[in-house]
Amino acid sequence: MSDRMLVGHLSTGRTGPIQGNRNVDRNKQQQTDAASFRDILDQQQQLKFSHHAEQRLQQRGIQLMPDQIARIANAVDQAATKGAKDSLVLFQDIAMIVNVPNRTVVTAMDGNSMKEHIFTQIDSAVVVS
């Protein structure tokens, strides 16, 4: 009897799980997986600012505190659950255009810059309280 397999023929040999010779500590692997998942989750919840948005914030003297950014990020999360792509986010006297899937603030303006300004290419608006 031959153990070789011919094209078009099935082998009736024994089958079983393939086991490598690696010695893997499963607890350590699970901890690494959990940490990397946590890092990815944290990165997803952060709000990024484009170079243009950073310039506009500096030019217009707009400063955002970490708790304010967290509130804005929460508003972006809510917009994402509704399927928003590009959203106008209004926070206090600041208006920001945010690309929701990328979680990136594209531009920002203060109350004076908003007067008589038309916002285009947005599909939603979020008012942050």
Q: Which long-range contacts (CB under 8 A, 24 or more apart) does 114-118 make?
A: none
Q: Identify the pLDDT of residue 34.
A: 55
> Mean of the pLDDT values across residues 77-88?
96
Residue 116 lies in a domain: yes
For the entire predicted model, the pTM comes to 0.65
Interatomic CA distance for residues 108 and 33, integer angstroms: 37
Residue 114 lies in a domain: yes
Q: Identify the pLDDT of residue 29.
A: 53
> For the chain, what percentages of helix, strand and coil (3-state, to nearest 5) are there?
40, 20, 40
Taken as a whole, the chain contains a residue count of: 129
The pLDDT > 70 percentage for the chain reads: 65
Residue 17 lies in a domain: no
Residue 100 lies in a domain: yes
Residue 14 lies in a domain: no
> Mean of the pLDDT values across residues 96-124?
91
92 is in which domain, residue-wise? 47-128
Interatomic CA distance for residues 39 and 29, integer angstroms: 15
Residue 12 lies in a domain: no
CA distances from 75 to 12, 117, 127 (A): 60, 22, 8
Mean pLDDT (the chain, rounded): 79
Residue 87 lies in a domain: yes
Tally the domains of the chain.
Answer: 1
Residue 64, pLDDT above cutoff 70? yes
pLDDT confidence bin for 37, thresholds 50/70/90: low
pLDDT greater at residue 17 or residue 96: 96
